[in-house]
Amino acid sequence: MLGAIGLALLGAPLITLPTPAFGGDPILIAIASDPVQLRLHCFSTRCGDEEWKAAMAPTRRDPVIDPADLPPLRKVALPGQQRVIGGVSAPATSRESRALYSNDYRVGTRYGVQALRDGPTQIGLSFGAGYRLAPLADDGINRPGAVFRGELNLGQRISDRARWTQRVQIESGRGDTFVKQSVRLDVDVWQNWKLETDFAIRHDNRGGGGSESAESSIELIRRF
């Protein structure tokens, strides 16, 4: 059946469509016989006869974002920027001190050093030169003139409540020498209550002679 139909189609005469008449002009007849030549030249990037190409989807435009609407940037800590200990301040203090002083009975200069200050034992030393204005105004020689002064301080913490302190003062000038030794014991007996004991010996050498004196005190102090 199918073979008969195919033979009938092959044997049938070809039918040609009549060519439209264009006044017998051979150029128009050639253009009409080839429709491709009827297309206009396209000099743009997108021609109007691209109907056989798939239409491209319109390009989506990203919305405009205001920088003020963006979340704040997270601060990243770089290596070496971290603090080992935060919120702690321990300013260093010098072990040495220098001072110029003047009062009603003496003017001079003083240099001090703390040999030991951290721990239960403290040792301090100071010395300097000056001029005594008035005798017997404080501990020192008994006449005015140039003097040399020195001082040694020893401290020892015996326990959490008791502390022992010894102080030695020396002043020398114009052949006279004055020495004072004092011993002090402070004990915390109760909350805001302290027992203070003080013992001092004074030695004054006046031109080869001398005199000594001693005094002591015991005080119970209440702190408010």
Q: Which two tokens stand for residue 28?
A: 């128009």
Please give the single-letter amino acid code of residue 141: I
Q: Over range 170-174, report the average pLDDT.
A: 91
Provide the mean pLDDT of the chain.
76
Listed residue (219, 221, 217) closest to 193, CA to CA: 221
> What confidence score (pLDDT) does residue 10 get?
46
pLDDT score of 85 more than 50 = yes
* Averaged pLDDT, 87-94: 64
Question: Around Cβ 141, how many Cβ atoms within 10 Å?
Answer: 21
Residue 117 covered by a domain: yes
| pLDDT at residue number 37 | 54
| Structural domain harbouring 199 | 96-222
Decide: 194 and 173 in contact? Cβ < 8 Å.
no
Question: Using one digit for the tens of pLDDT, what is the confidence trace for 132-146?
Answer: 988 767 888 888 899
Range in 23-27, 103-107, 157-161 the model is least confident about: 23-27
Higher pLDDT, residue 65 or 162: 162
**Band of pLDDT at residue 86, cut at 50, 70 and 90:** low
pLDDT at 192: 86
Residues in the chain: 224
20 domain-assigned: no
Nearest to 154 by CA among 163, 144, 141, 143: 163
pLDDT at residue 113 tops 80: yes
Work out the average pLDDT over 203-223: 82
Continuous H helices in the chain: 2-11, 26-33
In a domain, 204, yes or no: yes
Q: Which of 77-91, 97-111, 202-216 is predicted with the least confidence, judged by mean pLDDT?
A: 77-91
Top pLDDT among 94 and 163 is at 163
Q: How many domains does the chain have?
A: 1
Least Cα distance to 152 among 192, 188, 112 occurs for 112
Residue 144 in domain? yes
* pLDDT at residue 169, rounded to an integer: 95
Residue 176 included in any domain? yes
Classify residue 19: in a domain, yes or no: no
Q: How many whole angstroms from its chain centre is CA 121?
A: 34
**Average pLDDT of the segment spanning 111-119:** 91
In a domain, 155, yes or no: yes
Q: Is residue 47 part of a domain?
A: no
Tokens 């003097």, located at residue: 147
Q: Residue 47 to residues 17, 31, 38, 144, 160: CA-CA distances in angstroms?
A: 31, 21, 15, 119, 101
- pLDDT over 90 percentage in the chain: 34
In b/e form, how buried is each residue of 42-74, taking b as 16+ CB within 10 angstroms?
Answer: eeeeeeeeeeeeeeeeeeeeeeeeeeeeeeeee
